[in-house]
Structure 1
Amino acid sequence: MALLNVEVENGKLEGILCGDGLVSSFKGIPYAAPPVGDLRWKEPQPIAWSGVKQAYRFAPAAMQLPASPDNFYYKEFSSIFPMSEDCLYLNVWTSAEKSDEKLPVAFWVYGGGFQAGSSRVKAYYGEDFARKGVVFVSVGYRLNIFGFLAHPELTAESEHHSSGNYGMLDQIFALQWVKRNIAAFGGDPENITVFGQSAGAGSTIIHTTSPLTKGLFQRAIVQSAGGIEVRERPPLAEMEQRGIDFLRAAGLTGIEEARKLSAEKLLETYDQVNPKRERWKLYGPNVDHYLLDAEPIDVILAGKHHDLDYMWGSTAEEGNSYGPAPDCSVATFEMEAKNVYRAYANAYLRTADAKSEEKVRYVQKYNMANGALARCVGFAERQVEQERRPCYQYYFTRRPPGDETGAFHSAEHAYVFQTFPRIWRPYTGVDFELSQIMSSYWVNFIRCGDPNGAGLPEWKPFTEHNHMTMELGDEVGMIPVPETPISKFQKEFIYHQLGMEEEE
């Protein structure tokens, strides 16, 4: 029977058994004090409790705007949860029968554009993953205006002269807690893998490049990182100005007044002030010279990211779940290209060759998939150039049943966690077989840094002489990296390797 009673640095915990009793769960474990009142927009602080805390239920999700029922992910992730500003909790699933088993640890960070999401999403349940001998941890962290507001007043009151990265500091505080306490659950504090999808993948990249996380974990898995913007992590000064603009638009005189607003009123104000389609761009991590000394891409290019085992991957149709762009005119496409690619816009437009609305629609449909693939391949190439540990790459092509969305952004994680029974889709035998393979690959990698194992198709790492990726779909096996002219251009743009003169 799995562990039911443990003692951590904060106090005693009692969990519950899952199903047949081979796995136990500890849900809603406070890893930091509630970030409310004077602790709003401050680094996470320690917490303790007396007696035995019953860790039976999930804690509320972080404050966020409710998903619209017509949003693709509303149905996919069942995004109706209780919410609270008091959200700094984590969950643990373990199959350990005693605390000295030293099982490998998987630390999961959910996605949602740093605007939404929760560790209580059914697709992220760790019970089935833990059955394979992994201690699974999922973490909650502050989002949107609560987690990423920067402002000169906040920077001035910080001993580190930074502000705006509270959601990331929550994750690090939780990771430090896991490092110190996971042995109580039968986990090995010297064998931790950080992984996540979408914004969770972006968070994972930040953790591999932050000076605050060095030595906290041994492996990283980046799932569906998406995006191609080269300056995706703006400097602190730029984020501070956004904070000034927000308070001004909200009619607030300063941080003191903003801290007095109820969480519900602050969220309502955030909704009123910020355009819906721009929120994910306005509030997220920044380069503050505390969490980050430089943009993560620059850290990677300099070879200063953490020396870890890496797995990176993307899906074949990353952008399908977001639907078509509202404007597919050639003029709008060209304007957006200039905003993103700036001095290289003309070169991009020549590569895209989108001279009709039909071609623009096609390019935009696969733009996110191309960008995600570009990130993966570019990182693997940097690992080779810098003579670091080779990266394992995957390319997810299976089109989940139930609709025509295809291999959408984040489609792979239900296969990894084997959570099909908790999801609405009518998965078939092919899906269950693929899920068994993928879950085994992930667990093997988490255990020792190599996904290969008995009975599995061989997964070769990306090397100087092996520019291959593992296709995970109707067929499972190594294939040449499916680069396109656009993904190659984006890869060179992201990793500053264009090798051309900037054009005016």
Structure 2
Amino acid sequence: MSRGLLRLTAIAAATAALAACATTASAQVPPVVNAPAGSVRGTTDDAISAFKGIPFAAPPVGDMRWRPPAPAATWQGVRDATQFGAACMQPTPVIQTIYSADIGRTSEDCLTLNVWTPSITGKAPVMVWIHGGALVTGSSKETLYDGARLAREGVVVVTINYRLGVLGWLAHPDLSAESPVGISGNYGLMDQVAALEWVKRNIAAFGGDPDNVAIAGESAGGLSVLYLMSSPLAQGLFDRAIAQSAYMISTPELKQARYGAPAAEAAGSALARTLQAPSLRVLRGMDAQALTDRAAMSGFATFGVVDGVVLPRQIVDVFDRGEQAKVPVLAGFNSGEIRSLRMLAPPVPADAAAYERTIRERYGDLADAFLRLYPSADMEESILAASRDALYGWTSERMVRSQTQAGQPSFLYLFDHGYPATDAARLHAFHASELPYMFGTLDRTPPRWPAIPDTPGERQLSDALVRYWASFVRSGRPVADDAAAWSPYGEARSVLAIREAPSSETHLYPGMFELHEAAVQRRKVADQAWNWNAGLASPSLAEAQ
């Protein structure tokens, strides 16, 4: 090799080394966003930037306990946003389930959110994720909800905390008396609205489009989506909605007992007496963890409150009157919902005759339709299916029907996918089992979650769901290359059935929606609750007039 060629080779090698060093240094420079709320410094991994623990409201502590969220304090300089904030207060775990995960520190100072973004200079669609947990447990930082994979599809992902349990949903006459509008309860829902308002003001600085926002959630997060679609406070803050395993149940009303539930204020007063707390001052002075644990042990029921302001009326009535947010909806449920929630299912009777006799006593002229759908030949499976459909199946189909009637393209799915570990445990397509697939977090499930095999088929299914969800967030239509076309629900009553692979079908569980819709309407007339009291646990339904 000539001396000149050696020199050129050395120069080329040195240039390449310098370029590599520059690339490494660039990758290691923490991203900084200068948002209206303040400047934050995050992290970057594989071209996706993450900003964690950003406060969207002031800490609801001390005298601010059980008040609507207040604006977060501004800060000087650049705030570190590399660590998740504390989870909101929740009961001390007494048992471990497949959903149990280490959420780390909890605190009343918990109103924070996290952002994953593909670029801080873009204008990407935004998905705001609301975690599940019965409005009692959960956190925005659970590993299942890592937003990086969806961000790689060009979506800005925001996960939020909101007040839980008694600290987020207590109504009480004294709280209503100190409210300028005479209401109480729904503090967790108001937190969700405050997070959406923060997104509207700030997300452009993170590369998101404030005019292209989808709200999304599963289980209690799906219920929250229904609440937000029903609340005038949230109108205009989102453009699409995703409701996974949501439940359109009856909700306590603030001042009066209705639909089998006491007035929310009366329930709050009863709890205060149980806690031996004669005043708000005493309640606000109680240790947050002790208060949360004692309220849970006393059976305090955590729901939204129909107060005429935050929630103007029952969700069913909001949708029937066409007062819900007119946005496209993606909604669905899992075939094995109740397999991991067996406490929601009534016990199996001694024999088929007892099963059929009870159903005929409870359902009257609807009993034949019920027994066709849920026959006595396999009572356990029928009980699981009836409980599933009364809560999740009916709700999902009702949502897409309502939005279709409102002129919005809406999409229904059934998640019916299992794998060796779920099927061995009799948990096929259990409640929440779609989450690691649509988030692309197959390797980040909780410790007791049935292990998902690392196979091309599982990864391919996850990739398809990630693309469907990202496409819907982007455009209001779920499209995934190399996967089945997902048609709007429409007159054909189309559904995407997600088994080993997605497939397009029509008329999911014929007769299911009509049966449970008829039962709900009769319960409304009879002032009965509609929730998980289905099948053998149903009250007697009045005959049709």
- Paired residue secondary structure (2:90): coil
Task: Specify the code of the residue in structure 2 equivalent to 1:185.
Answer: F
1:124 lines up with 2:145 in the alignment = yes
- After superposition, the Cα gap between the structure-2 partners of 1:156 and 1:347, relative to the gap in structure 1 and judged at 3 Å, is farther
Task: Specify the code of the residue in structure 1 equivalent to 2:167.
Answer: F
| 1:122–1:422 Cα contact (<8 Å) kept | yes
Q: Out of 420-429 and 297-306, give the one that drifted further.
A: 420-429
- Which residue in the other structure is 1:346 paired with? 364
Task: Specify the code of the residue in structure 2 equivalent to 1:95.
Answer: P
- Paired residue secondary structure (2:478): coil
User: Per-residue CA shift, 1:158-217, capped at 9, x if unaligned?
Assistant: 112111100000000010000010001010000000000000001001111111111111
- Which residue in the other structure is 1:166 paired with? 187
Shift of residue 410, structure 1, vs aligned partner: 1.3
TM-score by length of 1: 0.88
Q: Out of 480-489 and 42-51, give the one that drifted further.
A: 480-489
- Which residue in the other structure is 1:135 paired with? 156
Shift of residue 97, structure 1, vs aligned partner: 4.3
1:429 lines up with 2:465 in the alignment = no
Shift of residue 286, structure 1, vs aligned partner: 1.0
- After superposition, the Cα gap between the structure-2 partners of 1:401 and 1:183, relative to the gap in structure 1 and judged at 3 Å, is farther
- Which residue in the other structure is 1:373 paired with? 393
> Within 2, Cα distance between the matches of 1:499 and 1:109?
32
1:292 lines up with 2:292 in the alignment = no
> Within 2, Cα distance between the matches of 1:172 and 1:313?
23
> Within 2, Cα distance between the matches of 1:348 and 1:319?
23
Shift of residue 491, structure 1, vs aligned partner: 3.1
| 1:396–1:407 Cα contact (<8 Å) kept | yes
- 1:53-452 matches, cutoff 5 A: 53-74=79-100, 78-98=101-121, 101-226=122-247, 229=249, 231-237=250-256, 238-274=263-299, 279=300, 282-323=301-342, 325=345, 327-329=347-349, 345-347=363-365, 349=367, 351-353=369-371, 360-371=379-390, 372-384=392-404, 386-403=405-422, 404=425, 405-423=427-445, 425-427=451-453, 428-452=455-479
Task: Specify the code of the residue in structure 2 equivalent to 1:146.
Answer: L
Q: Out of 418-427 and 125-134, give the one that drifted further.
A: 418-427
1:27 lines up with 2:52 in the alignment = yes
> Within 1, Cα distance between the matches of 2:502 and 2:192?
34
* Structure 1 residue ranges without an equivalent (≥5): none
- After superposition, the Cα gap between the structure-2 partners of 1:419 and 1:258, relative to the gap in structure 1 and judged at 3 Å, is same
- Paired residue secondary structure (2:337): coil
Task: Specify the code of the residue in structure 1 equivalent to 2:315.
Answer: P
| 1:334–1:349 Cα contact (<8 Å) kept | no
Task: Specify the code of the residue in structure 2 equivalent to 1:91.
Answer: N
- Paired residue secondary structure (2:462): helix
- Paired residue secondary structure (1:114): coil
- After superposition, the Cα gap between the structure-2 partners of 1:400 and 1:33, relative to the gap in structure 1 and judged at 3 Å, is farther
Shift of residue 475, structure 1, vs aligned partner: 3.1
> Within 1, Cα distance between the matches of 2:354 and 2:143?
40
- After superposition, the Cα gap between the structure-2 partners of 1:478 and 1:233, relative to the gap in structure 1 and judged at 3 Å, is farther
> Within 1, Cα distance between the matches of 2:287 and 2:80?
28
Shift of residue 252, structure 1, vs aligned partner: 1.0
Task: Specify the code of the residue in structure 2 equivalent to 1:304.
Answer: E
Task: Specify the code of the residue in structure 2 equivalent to 1:346.
Answer: G
Q: Out of 39-48 and 494-503, give the one that drifted further.
A: 494-503
Shift of residue 463, structure 1, vs aligned partner: 0.9
1:503 lines up with 2:543 in the alignment = yes
- Paired residue secondary structure (1:257): helix
| Percent of aligned positions that are identical | 32
1:44 lines up with 2:58 in the alignment = no
| 2:397–2:513 Cα contact (<8 Å) kept | no
| 2:92–2:293 Cα contact (<8 Å) kept | no
> Within 1, Cα distance between the matches of 2:111 and 2:525?
45
Shift of residue 125, structure 1, vs aligned partner: 0.6
Task: Specify the code of the residue in structure 1 equivalent to 2:436.
Answer: A
Q: Highest Rg: 1 or 2?
A: 2
Shift of residue 225, structure 1, vs aligned partner: 1.1
User: Per-residue CA shift, 1:409-467, capped at 9, x if unaligned?
Assistant: 11111101100121251323221111101100110110011112543321110112x11
> Within 1, Cα distance between the matches of 2:317 and 2:141?
34
Task: Specify the code of the residue in structure 1 equivalent to 2:435.
Answer: H
> Within 2, Cα distance between the matches of 1:124 and 1:12?
24
- After superposition, the Cα gap between the structure-2 partners of 1:477 and 1:216, relative to the gap in structure 1 and judged at 3 Å, is same
> Within 1, Cα distance between the matches of 2:304 and 2:354?
28
Shift of residue 306, structure 1, vs aligned partner: 1.2
* Structure 2 residue ranges without an equivalent (≥5): 1-26, 257-262, 527-540
- Paired residue secondary structure (2:428): coil
> Within 2, Cα distance between the matches of 1:387 and 1:260?
47
- After superposition, the Cα gap between the structure-2 partners of 1:496 and 1:92, relative to the gap in structure 1 and judged at 3 Å, is farther
Shift of residue 374, structure 1, vs aligned partner: 1.4
| 1:3–1:95 Cα contact (<8 Å) kept | no
> Within 1, Cα distance between the matches of 2:378 and 2:137?
32
TM-score by length of 2: 0.82
> Within 1, Cα distance between the matches of 2:105 and 2:114?
16
| 1:196–1:221 Cα contact (<8 Å) kept | yes
| 2:436–2:444 Cα contact (<8 Å) kept | no
- After superposition, the Cα gap between the structure-2 partners of 1:364 and 1:68, relative to the gap in structure 1 and judged at 3 Å, is farther
Aligned length: 482
